Structure 1
Amino acid sequence: MSPPPRHRHAVDGGYQRGEETRARIVLAALSLFGERGFDGASTRDIAERAGVNAPAIGYYFDNKEGVYLACVEHIISRVWARIAEPVEAAEAALQNHAPDDVLIEAVCAIQGRIAGFILTSAESSDWRLFMAREQAGLGPSSGFEMIDKGVSSRLVKVYAAIVGRLLGRPADDEETLIRAMTLNGPLLVFHIHCRKSLGVLGWDAIDAERLARLTAIVREHTVTVLRSLVAIKEGRAKKALR
């Protein structure tokens, strides 16, 4: 699948003006798709919220799915800009056959970067409903494929490679993949179920101090889990020698 055109007609009438109009439509669409879902948000509604005329949707994006994919592309670019550094560092650690402690620290570094973004970023909060619907399979399959290719698959691949190394099993092993996919669970609870999580804790928001407390606990949990994989590997090795 090819991504949507990033600069469709942007130069007509002035490059900067075209890009600003396009960005305004994307932000309006993100909000409406989150509130009403793909089927419930019309191109006319998106245009009205963006403050542009209805034909502008077709002019910049061809159709409603084109707008949706532009929203997905926007999220991917913003997310990847924040997590690329620790993900690439983790990939390098794997390539260099780094010791277990370094691999565990690499996972924690990725989690810390994700936490700082999804739990405190205003734009991430604006995407919450959009992403909840997308992850539930309520958007076009082309959007899911784009997210999977742009972020999800690479992140799962890194996690699975590290978990597999610690556990002594192949990265594509079923057990490895299940364990790898649970690693970001604690963070997603606070992102997807933000209102409930904050209510349970009696918090009105997540400030810098609360973020530090939360991430420290998640880090401790992650380190404990990952070190337990090494213990499982060693226990299995001893059992095999009996």
Structure 2
Amino acid sequence: MTEARPVRRGGYRKGEESRQRILEVAIREFGRVGFTAATTRTIAQQAGATLPSLQYYFGGKEGLYRACAEEIAARFIAMTVDAAQGAAEALVAGAGDLRAELKRTMAAVARAMTGSDAAGLWGAFVSRELLAPGPAFDVMLEKLFAPGIDLIAAMIARVQGREEADEPARIRAMLMIASLTAFQSGRSVALRVFGWDDVGAAQLAAITAALDAEIDAL
């Protein structure tokens, strides 16, 4: 019994590595050509996996697509959870500097959307899903879009002296978040316009400073 445990652990580790490799390839392929044009055969080949293994992990094309959305949401949440929790706690307590918490939250969102190495990869997938909602739209709406807009809108409303998030606050929140897509899905345009080689630490600092100024003007 004890001799079999390392084998099982090794098998699980290899299985998880294979699953993650398929996800990485699938996010890129779905982002490149969209849900309809992408094929599980191509994804499996590019991931060095077999079609049966892809079906075993994800159940098929739609299951894989939804798993990609779940993966993107999980990574984004992991990158922003500390700031989001701090903001939520400040809202509940009704204490602290809410403007500073809003800045911290938007800085975390900016890092996740534009400053991470995977941002461009995620951006293509998310942009396609926003333009032509598919099987993953409900996943992203429930786990990313709606909670993010709700939290930021609540903070904007409170900073402006209102107790609850209203339509103007939600519109402002959506505009604030959407402005960052110019440096994510529109990264190539931003690089050309600003003469940047990449969106690195200095560029992210400039983006964050612009967000801070917008928040100061609320």
Structure 2 stretches lacking a partner, 5+ long: 1-7
The superposition leaves residues 32-57 of structure 1 with CA deviations (integer Å, 9 ceiling, x where unpaired) of 10111000011111111111112222
Q: 2:167 aligns with which of 171, 174, 181?
A: 174
- The corresponding residue for 1:63 is 60
Match of 2:178 in 1: 185
**Paired residue for 1:21?**
18
Which residue of structure 1 lines up, in the alignment, with residue 210 of structure 2? 217
Q: Give 1:127's aligned residue.
A: 122
Residue 139 of structure 1, CA deviation: 2.5
Could you tell me which of 123, 143, 148 is aligned with 1:150? Answer: 143
- Aligned residue in 2 for 1:117: 112
Residue 22 of structure 1, CA deviation? 0.7
Distance in 2, matches of 1:34 and 1:128, equals: 8
Q: Which amino acid aligns with 1:215?
A: T
Instruction: Give 1:73 shift.
Output: 1.1
Q: Percent of pairs identical after alignment?
A: 35
Provide closer, same or farther for how the CA distance between residues 73 and 119 of structure 1 changes in structure 2, counting only shifts above 3 A.
same
Structure 2 residue 37 is the aligned partner of structure 1 residue 40: yes
Measured in 2, the distance between the counterparts of 1:117 and 1:148 equals: 17
Return the index of the structure with the highest Cα Rg: 1
3-state SS, counterpart of residue 95 of structure 2 = coil
Separation in 2 of the partners of 1:88 and 1:147?
19
Q: What count of residue pairs does the alignment treat as equivalent?
A: 211
Separation in 2, partners of 1:116, 1:169 = 28
Partner secondary structure for residue 32 of structure 1: helix
Distance 1:164 1:211 in 2: 26
Find the residue that maps to 1:110 and give its secondary structure.
helix
Q: Quick check: 2:19–2:57 contact (8 Å CA) kept in 1? A: yes
Q: Which amino acid aligns with 2:60?
A: N
CA RMSD of aligned residues (A): 1.9
1:161 alignment partner AA: A
Inter-CA distance 12–139: structure 2 relative to 1 (3 Å threshold): farther
Separation in 2 of the partners of 1:170 and 1:176? 11
The partner residue of 1:90 within 87, 92, 95 is 87
Letter in 2 for 1:36: V
CA distance in 1, matches of 2:188, 2:196: 9
Q: 1:193 to 1:108 in 2, by over 3 A?
A: same
Q: Which runs of 5+ in 1 are unaligned?
A: 1-10, 227-242
Amino acid at match of 1:70: A
Tell whether the 8 Å contact from 2:120 to 2:185 is kept in structure 1 after alignment: no
2:99 matched to 1:104?
Answer: yes
Letter in 1 for 2:190: S
- Cα distance, 1:207 vs structure 2: 2.3
| 8 A contact 1:76–1:151 mirrored in 2 | yes
TM-score (norm 2): 0.89
Structure 2 distance, partners of 1:175, 1:211, is 27
* Separation of aligned partners in 2, 1:176 and 1:116: 22
